[in-house]
Structure 1
Amino acid sequence: MKTTFEFLNQLTKNNNREWFQSNRAKYEDSYNEMILFADQLIEEMNKHDVIETSVGKKSLFRIYRDVRFSKDKAPYKTHWAGTLRRAGANRRGGYYFKISNEESFAMGGFFGPNAQDLLHFRNQIALDADPLRNVIESNDFKNDFGELLGEKLKTAPKGFDKTHPDIDLLRHKQYIIRHDFTLKQVHDPNFPEIMSEAFRKMRPFLDCMTEMITTDLNGIPLV
Structure 2
Amino acid sequence: MTFDFSVITSHMSDILSGFGTTLVATAISCLFGMGLGLIVALGLTAKSRIFRYPVRLYVEVIRTTPFLIQLFLLYYGGPSIGLYLEPLQAGIIGLAIYGSAYYAEIFRAGFQSIPKGHLEVAQMMGFSHVQMIWRIQIPQMMVLIVPALVNTSIILGKETAVLSIVTVPELTFVLTGIGSETYAYAETLLVLSIAYLIMAEATSRLGLRAEKRLSKYMER
TM-score norm. by structure 2 comes to 0.24
Hey, which of these two has a bigger chunk of strand by percent?
1
Higher RCO (C-alpha 8 Å, min separation 6): 2
Larger radius of gyration between Structure 1 and Structure 2: 2
TM-score norm. by structure 1 comes to 0.24
